[in-house]
């Protein structure tokens, strides 16, 4: 079987898609395969080759050799920055194709999300960390602190070979969030893509080779979590594992990391984020941002604000206006259709899960105001809005990862803070009020890693992204991500040679 296949995307772009495993700058064959499905049609796009535990071992060995060879960690930060900048420019060059691959493989809108957000931002992430690669410096700690005759300094060192596991909801963007800071700090990488959306990661491997990255620095594997992912997380020669995905799987990865070699762990897991709207808000803005916060990327976003808390004095007015906005604005269509706002759910499995949650909401007494599943082909659903929800309902407690929102009312500040914090998750929260003092006081008391005041779901590559409680460990983006891939070695120097 070849490690490449010719594909024509739904918008007419014909290209050579890698389907093999990218190990040590070579395309490696595997007998095991995974079908990747176009969620717009339910049809197979192609079959990619799946990594076995032996392939993971080979990729880790290649990355270890590359790290020890010093032609990556041993070169200057400026040189590493040159490679990252070249990758950024190659992504920019192939932006339309990469966006087409992403829309075809994931189902997100080509124009509104893939090309103008995901791929464009991925290029910017590599450019950003290219600029940081030669600015990772230590700290001098002098005699005025340590006492006469003693000095010390810190030496920021790469961790080594890192394993990375990315999700299916933002395949290419999450790849950039993980690989770019890891490479900037001098690490080598073995990345496993999601078995549901493997295509853009494999195309990225092609760009790495074109950029001239040394052998073994980046290795890309398609594979199943229970095989390749589990072996990567427990591998004794992986020094760090970075994961984005469900809280359940994150826990399993943490167990594997602890029971193998106590490897460094970064986890970005699930969320059930509150959207708090006070009666002194900009009402129209709260409606529009509320829509974006839950229905962006079909609701398949870990930080989606899927629990709406609306102050009782404006509750009825808000619910009516929000439902009207959803029904008017939520254009559900093929992701390549101009003006598409919501594409199909990513897979048949996810479609079934969302169906389960919608039925749960109905049975538990929530009032369904709008939303419906659309008969195939494809996995389409019009956004679901439930009102008059209670905190003990399943749709208000569990992460759905789909276009479903539950709305409830509150009276006081203390009440909404307590109820917002009742979740086991703590990824994000949004607060709408024109009283900035109130907003910052509430933000301080909400147990979430990210708080949006009078906005929702926006991110910036300069600002840390990550959660509290069962939403994860560590941060991505900004300078915080550099620390996630760096060991700070302390070097003590005794100048007078006396004890």
Residues carrying an active site annotation = 268
- Cα 93 from Cα 97, distance rounded (Å): 9
DSSP per residue, 19-58 = -SEEETTEEE--S-EEEEEETTTTEEEEEEEPP-HHHHHH
Query: Is the CB of residue 3 less than 8 Å from the CB of residue 50?
Result: no
- CA distances 350 to 98, 113, 169, 298, Å, are 23, 20, 11, 11
- Cα 271 from Cα 448, distance rounded (Å): 9
- Helix count and strand count (H, E) for the chain: 16, 24
CA pseudo-torsion sign 259, 261, 264, 267: negative
Where does residue 380 rank: exposed (0-12), middle (13-18), buried (19+ CB within 10 A)?
buried
CA pseudo-torsion sign 96, 100, 103, 105: negative
- CA distances 464 to 121, 217, 243, Å, are 15, 25, 16
- Cα 277 from Cα 432, distance rounded (Å): 5
- Cα 144 from Cα 103, distance rounded (Å): 58
Query: Is the CB of residue 197 less than 8 Å from the CB of residue 36?
Result: yes
Parallel, antiparallel or unpaired: strands 381-387 and 367-373: antiparallel
Which distant-in-sequence residues (6+ apart) come within 8 Å of 248 by Cβ?
none
- Cα 201 from Cα 193, distance rounded (Å): 7
């Amino acid at each position: 079987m070849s490690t490449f296949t010719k594909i024509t995307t739904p918008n007419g772009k014909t290209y050579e898609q890698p389907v093999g495993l990218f190990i040590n700058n070579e395309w490696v064959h595997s007998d095991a395969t995974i079908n990747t499905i176009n969620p717009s049609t339910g049809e197979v796009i192609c079959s990619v080759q799946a990594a076995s535990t032996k392939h993971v071992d080979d990729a880790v060995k290649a990355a270890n050799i590359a790290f020890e060879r010093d032609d990556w960690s041993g070169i200057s930060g400026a040189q590493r920055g040159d490679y990252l900048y070249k990758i950024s420019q190659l992504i920019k060059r192939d932006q339309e194709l990469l966006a087409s691959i992403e829309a075809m493989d994931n189902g997100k809108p080509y124009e509104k999300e893939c090309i103008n957000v995901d791929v464009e931002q991925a290029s910017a992430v590599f450019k950003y960390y290219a600029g940081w690669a030669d600015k990772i410096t230590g700290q001098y700690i002098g005699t005025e602190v340590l006492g006469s005759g003693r000095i010390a300094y810190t030496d920021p060192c790469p961790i080594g070979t890192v394993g990375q596991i990315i999700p299916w909801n933002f395949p290419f963007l999450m790849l950039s969030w993980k690989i770019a800071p890891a490479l900037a700090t001098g690490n080598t990488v073995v990345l496993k893509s999601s078995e549901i959306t493997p295509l853009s990661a494999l195309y990225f491997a092609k760009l790495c080779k074109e950029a001239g990255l040394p052998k073994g620095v980046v290795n890309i594997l398609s594979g199943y979590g229970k095989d390749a992912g589990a072996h990567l997380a427990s591998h004794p020669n992986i020094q760090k594992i970075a994961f984005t995905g469900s809280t359940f799987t994150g826990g399993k990865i943490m167990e594997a990391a602890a029971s193998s070699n106590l490897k460094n762990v970064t986890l970005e897991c699930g969320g059930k984020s509150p959207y708090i709207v006070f009666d002194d808000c900009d009402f129209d803005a709260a409606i529009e941002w509320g829509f974006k916060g839950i229905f962006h990327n079909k609701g398949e976003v870990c930080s989606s604000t899927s629990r709406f808390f609306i102050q009782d004095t404006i509750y009825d007015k808000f619910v009516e206006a929000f439902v009207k906005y959803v029904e008017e604005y939520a254009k559900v269509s093929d992701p390549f259709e101009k003006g598409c706002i919501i594409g199909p759910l990513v897979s048949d499995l996810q479609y079934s899960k969302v169906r389960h949650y919608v039925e749960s909401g109905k049975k538990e007494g929530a009032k369904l105001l709008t939303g419906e599943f659309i008969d195939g082909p494809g996995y389409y659903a019009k956004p679901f809005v439930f009102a008059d929800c209670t905190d003990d309902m399943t749709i208000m407690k569990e992460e759905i990862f789909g276009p479903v929102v539950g709305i409830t009312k509150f009276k006081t500040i203390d009440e909404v803070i307590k109820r917002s914090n009742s979740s086991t998750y703590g990824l994000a929260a949004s607060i709408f009020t024109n009283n900035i003092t109130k907003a910052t006081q509430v933000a301080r008391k909400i147990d979430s890693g990210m708080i949006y005041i009078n906005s929702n779901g926006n991110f910036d590559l300069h600002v840390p992204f990550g959660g509290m409680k069962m939403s994860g460990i560590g941060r991505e983006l900004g300078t915080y991500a550099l620390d996630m891939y760096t060991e700070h070695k302390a070097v003590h120097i005794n100048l007078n040679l006396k004890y």
